[in-house]
Amino acid sequence: MTGQLKCISPIDGSVYATRDTLSRDEAFAVAERARAAQAAWAARPLKERIDLVLAGVAAVGAMNDEVVPELAHMMGRPVRYGGEFRGFEERASYMAQIAESSLADMQVGEDATFKRYIKRVPHGVVFVVAPWNYPYMTAINTVAPALIAGNTVILKHATQTLLVGERMAKAFHSAGVPEDVFINVFLDHDTTNDLIAGRAFNFVNFTGSVGGGKAMERAAAGTFTGVGLELGGKDPGYVMEDADLDAAVDTLVDAAMFNSGQCCCGIERIYVHESLYDAFVEKAVAVVKGYKLGNPLDSDTTIGPMANVRFATEVRAQIAEAVEAGAVTHIPTMEGDDGAAYLTPQILTNVTHDMRVMREESFGPVVGIMKVSSDAEAIALMNDSDYGLTVSLWTQDVERAQAVGDQLETGTVFLNRADYLDPGLCWTGCKDTGRGGGLSVIGYHNLTRPKSYHLKKVTK
């Protein structure tokens, strides 16, 4: 028996798209198709796989005029920002560029008697469960290198961005990637669990909530299926006394509010040295007051609705609890705030780590700002979190930033920037943010397994 997935548009609460889910038997049959196709795909020359993947990426780009308003309808990002193709293409192109060196045999030694080396071989079938907040870029992080490395890929996208996986599969197939090599599926949670528990996949990559990550690990328990997880975040920024104040304000506020705060590595808490604190808050408030909250299809809109009413409800609850406990709000309710998905972006001061808004993931357009007097105090506060994805440091002293960064429990340390995924660096986290790593050479290592060759030569 199949069910139905519904994408509810945050623009007006209407049903934007529906798709029927696969039954359990249908889903296992799809996985078997991917498994049957994998050996032949891996046997193709690496350059051929690279060229096909890049052609698929280009085919997605050719759809961009349709993709941008479609994303606005599905998850609320304003059309003025133009979609995700630039990052989508950048990440895939970089992974294609480093594929040969990343997947090359590791030569251990050869003499007259022995030849020894380590190969990187594909896992087999890779299951990608992608989120809605950056639905194209988060998916391509795994899809491109997994295919290039010789895996077949089954993609399951979030219901909120129901049409993204379908578009990606259509584009890649049109470019020549075989249909059984890259398959988009619509699944309910129970069938997803059954597939993982039933060893339908050789590797699972999940981006989403901590609860979702725990469900993936429970489903994979005892199967020895590899699981890569990028989960929640509560990323901090730290502005030191010698920082470029205007640059810090512009970057950190944008990192907190862009995409209605729905960014994996969005800034959710800011610590400012006491000498710059008042000026930082004043400038940050001025920036946010200049936003226009409204319909994302309007080119004048700078901040759209949150992707779902329930997400906005959680952010409102965190703000209300903080205010009740003594926090101060700085942004008056905006005209476009409807009490539902359209939410006024908010800056909070007089916050403490006793408040949920400074401890739990908000994933919305709210940021708390605290005053600090030293690096030691800032480090303790930044580490006082269950999460560890990125941190943004602001100082003119690179060595000081490195020394502070070395003491932080995080996956990435940014200096004088924030909220950017460099495909040359491993995208990874610690603590409840998850485990594993995507992109860079390490991304290829996680999407393949080592296979050792110890060959004794016949010398007679």
Average pLDDT over residues 83-101: 97
Is it the case that residue 1 has pLDDT exceeding 80? no
Q: Cα(329)–Cα(326) distance, rounded to whole angstroms?
A: 10
> What are the residue ranges of CATH 3.40.605.10 in the chain?
4-231+433-456
For the chain, percent of residues with pLDDT exceeding 90: 99
Place of tokens 């619509």: 186
> What pLDDT, on the 0 to 100 scale, is given for residue 2?
80
Mean of per-residue pLDDT scores for the chain? 97
Mean per-residue pLDDT, 422-450: 97
The average pLDDT across 18-23 equals 98
3-state secondary structure 171-204: HHHHCCCCCCCEEEECCCHHHHHHHHHCCCCCEE
pLDDT over 80 at 120, yes or no: yes
| Inter-residue contact 239 to 271 (CB < 8 Å) | yes
Q: What is the DSSP letter of 301?
A: -
Active site residues: 230, 264
Contacts of residue 86, Cβ cutoff 8 Å, sequence gap at least 6: none
The class (CATH top level) of 4-231+433-456 is alpha beta
d(CA 323, CA 352): 11
Segments in 44-134 forming alpha helices (H) = 46-61, 64-75, 85-97, 99-102
Contacts of 286 (CB under 8 A, 6+ apart): none
Residues of the chain with CATH 3.40.309.10: 235-422
CATH topology of domain 235-422: Aldehyde Dehydrogenase; Chain A, domain 2 (3.40.309)
pLDDT the model gives residue 200: 98
Q: CA–CA separation, 408 vs 393, rounded Å?
A: 11
- The amino acid sitting at 268 is E
Give me the percent of the chain exceeding a pLDDT of 70.
Answer: 100
pTM score: 0.97
Tokens read off for 34: 């991917």
In this predicted model, what pLDDT tens digit does every residue of 344-391 receive, in sequence order?
Answer: 999 999 999 999 999 999 999 999 999 999 999 999 999 999 999 999
Q: pLDDT class for 229, splitting at 50, 70, 90?
A: very high
What is the rounded distance in angstroms from the CA atom of residue 413 to the CA atom of residue 390?
6
Half-sphere exposure of 200 (CA within 13 A, CB side): 24
Return the structure tokens found at 246. 């205007």
Q: Output phi, psi for 58, to 5 deg.
A: -60, -35
> In Å, how far are 12, 269, 319, 344, 374 from 304, measured between CA atoms?
12, 21, 19, 10, 37
